[in-house]
Structure 1
């Protein structure tokens, strides 16, 4: 267990916001978590779990004990007639996992290429992109109970996945630390091209039946064209969830704004494009202090240099009020505000 004091968290959050952890422990194994739980002082301290920092907005210094998750490891756990079951340590960058599976010849995650963050954070948020969510490939995960120090294995039904949601954002928030995640990749692979950007790529290239590597490259190209690199411009990717509304609500909004981008869901509801609504309210390219709305994609808030968490909060709230005033929809942020 590696213990540090007075640690700057600016390098550990993708928005590049200034904050300091009074105490930080680097978690590289289940044993490290148990050592924290059993420690006479740290075992009783309030804690904050930090993965890749790509889904958090830091608005203050952290008096909590910060558990920085850095568990390594990638392996094929087992192979069946129908699937490859892979396992990854919670500290592995998500995109590293996606690229590794394709290098091994195991497709199935390519639609989620270039999503920032770590493997351990992926189930918390039930990450997803271009028609695929983590829950669609999820097998199980290991987590350490932060009260007892016991390692438990949780399967799909316990995790209660929803749209950018899971039990780890609700009942188990702050109560367990994910150490390893297992995914099931089907051998009967089929390309997923339902999203407009991917279908456009298929039309532009004339490739009607792309392989997984091609889709991976398309997704990387699309994301790089729309989203800034956090290493160059601080951001957390998509800042707001795309709201899901009933068919009746969707018809009402279309009657007022016929061009609104919307997608039908399997249950009869509709997902609305939050970025389109923010752009329609005139926010693209605008700033409050040093926090701004990205010029190429209104769904992304960025650090224009020297931003602090309060400026991001103020900008987010102003956008929420604008969208609510025009569309009657209250946008919900994806990142956690701390």
Structure 2
């Protein structure tokens, strides 16, 4: 673990405790936790050093981003860090405050109304980075009507603007092909999914090693070992897919790899969540036990930023139209 990751792990462990997370889910103001994160300087790690950042690449930031998922952080830390780096790469300064990034579920009505559905961290963001076709914008969430996800404790929301607010920031759409806001959202959610899955697996491994049945730990039963092996395979695949999504030498993710990473992570998320609950039994769904903090995130982040089905369709069209041979050839070509 490098110094950056160690420092972030220490901060999340001390400040983003399960008790704090439960409080924010219940309606407590997250401003204090966000102020701690902002004052730490971690939000600027992707910015170049001459702009007050650390000049870290997405490749190097990956372990730190996974930590946010492992701690079920209820704030758009990863999204804000990646949005700031993405905006800087396009020649724009980022506003103050937490930034959420909209996936492909956006629409613009004929009368100028804007809507963003299934927005991860929509309840906690001050700004929303979204794309409406060729229109890329930063929208103030204070001007929106916010309808929260009905799932208990979820920070996902739908946001609606009757018209474009006066303080909207327009992002010039570059002529060259770069990562769109929806693709950036997909890339930002992949390490969160991988981190939450890793934590769910770790908790499950500890539980089956301690839980006794018929005079021995249930980890010794073949059926339990089989399910654990399936979970472990999915968790490792999610980690590798998330690393692919952030495989970049700078702050700009690859559009293809972002889609590949989100597809695989979203696809595997319910298998990990279901396996964890199956092996925990009734204790896993209780309020007092922390497992549900992570499995709820797995289901929430799976849907946000485009589901696996949505991104698989986009990738399928590209594979069919490409000249790179098989789907594996397509993926390998995308990593060069």
Q: Which of the pair is proportionally richer in strand?
A: 1
Q: Which of the pair is proportionally richer in helix?
A: 2
